[in-house]
Amino acid sequence: MTLPKPLAPATEKGAAISIRAMSKRYTTREGDLLAVDQMDVEIAHGSFVAIVGPSGCGKSTVLKILAGLQPVSTGAIAMRGTPLTGPRGDIGIVFQSPVLFPWRSVLDNVMLPILVLGLNKEQGRKVARDLLSLVGLKDFESRYPWELSGGMQQRVAIARSLVNDPTLLLMDEPFGALDAMTREHMNVELQRIWMERRKTVLLITHSIAEAVFLADRVLVMSARPGRIIDDVVIDLPRPRPLEAMNSPEFGAYVARIRTLFQLRGGVD
């Protein structure tokens, strides 16, 4: 299939994102609040990175900054070598809720980034249809979001996040609102989609198991101010079946991360 041309020149090697000494400070009524403290990360092109941490550790702040929705207080971010200064059209986002537009059909929802970015509609529609079959919603393109289940809606959101062929896919607790069974199923699906598309993914999650299952690398953040306290490379073969969650290696990774939280006062 043909994808729309990437907006930035693609360098297949090297860092997709490099975050240097990034801090984020909010001014609130109670005074200054340090949300993220001196974050240093390099994320390789095509890798799947998860961030886990307790509530209020600044995970979502990191996501908003990378999406160009908020400026950093200090430090710098570069994407594919160009400094990040604001929103750019080559990022896909998936939120905890599907954030679909109820007045648009499933296909028109997936097409939205194409319209906003002013890309070729004919070609975009083709890409959107391919993505809908990739997420298993081939026959649902003319349905409306409110006719679909929560899991299906989130698949539409994933298809939408990929339609502009983004350099980076940001996922903020994408399956947090789903029931446990659907969530596991969606984890397997996301792995499949990722293995087919090989996007750089940054997944933010509360679930240690989800992070270990999906990611090549798990960044563990501490409670406020958010700091990276561990960087765990998950060396498990892919595709990982759900049963991999029962393996001793998987258990060891989960235990390592969980111990880290317990030492720091636990996840709330």
Partner 1 sequence: MNTKRNMGLTIALFVSSILLWEIVVRVSGVPNFIFPTPSEVFQALWRGIAGGLYLRHAGVTLTATVLGFVIGTSMGLLLGTLIATYRYVDYFLYPYIVMFQSMPKVALAPIFALWLGLGIESKIFSSAVICFFPLLVNTVAGLRSADEDRVNLMSALGASRWQIFRYLRLPGALPFIMAGLELAVVLALIGAIVAEFVGAQAGLGTLIQTMNSNMDVSGQFSVLLVLSAIGLTLNRTIKFFRRRVLFWDPSEKSRQSGPNV
Site residues for partner 1 per CB under 8 A: 64, 67-69, 86-89, 91, 93, 95, 97, 99, 101-103, 112-113, 115-117, 144, 146, 164
Q: How far apart are the first and last CA of the chain?
A: 44
Q: Closest approach of Cβ 254 to partner 1, in Å?
A: 30
The CA angle 183-184-190, to the nearest 5 degrees, is 85
| Rounded CA separation 59/219 (Å) | 10
Residue listed under structure tokens 């960044």:
219
Q: Closest approach of Cβ 170 to partner 1, in Å?
A: 8
User: What are the C-alpha distances in Å from 57 to residues 23, 60, 153?
Assistant: 13, 8, 28
Neighbours of 179 (CB within 10 A): 11
Which CB, 23 or 97, lies closer to partner 1? 97
| Rounded CA separation 263/266 (Å) | 7
Element (H or E) spanning 121, and its range?
helix 121-134
Which CB, 46 or 89, lies closer to partner 1? 89
Strand, helix or coil for residue 120? coil
Which CB, 35 or 209, lies closer to partner 1? 35
Which CB, 24 or 217, lies closer to partner 1? 24
Which CB, 86 or 237, lies closer to partner 1? 86
Q: Closest approach of Cβ 156 to partner 1, in Å?
A: 13
Q: Closest approach of Cβ 165 to partner 1, in Å?
A: 13
Q: Closest approach of Cβ 64 to partner 1, in Å?
A: 7
Strand, helix or coil for residue 79? strand
Q: Closest approach of Cβ 227 to partner 1, in Å?
A: 25
Q: Compute the Cα dihedral for 170, 132, 149, 102 and give only its sign.
A: positive
Which CB, 55 or 262, lies closer to partner 1? 55
Sheet of 82-83: strand order equals 31-44, 15-28, 74-79, 82-83
The first and second tokens of residue 169, run together, are 């896919």
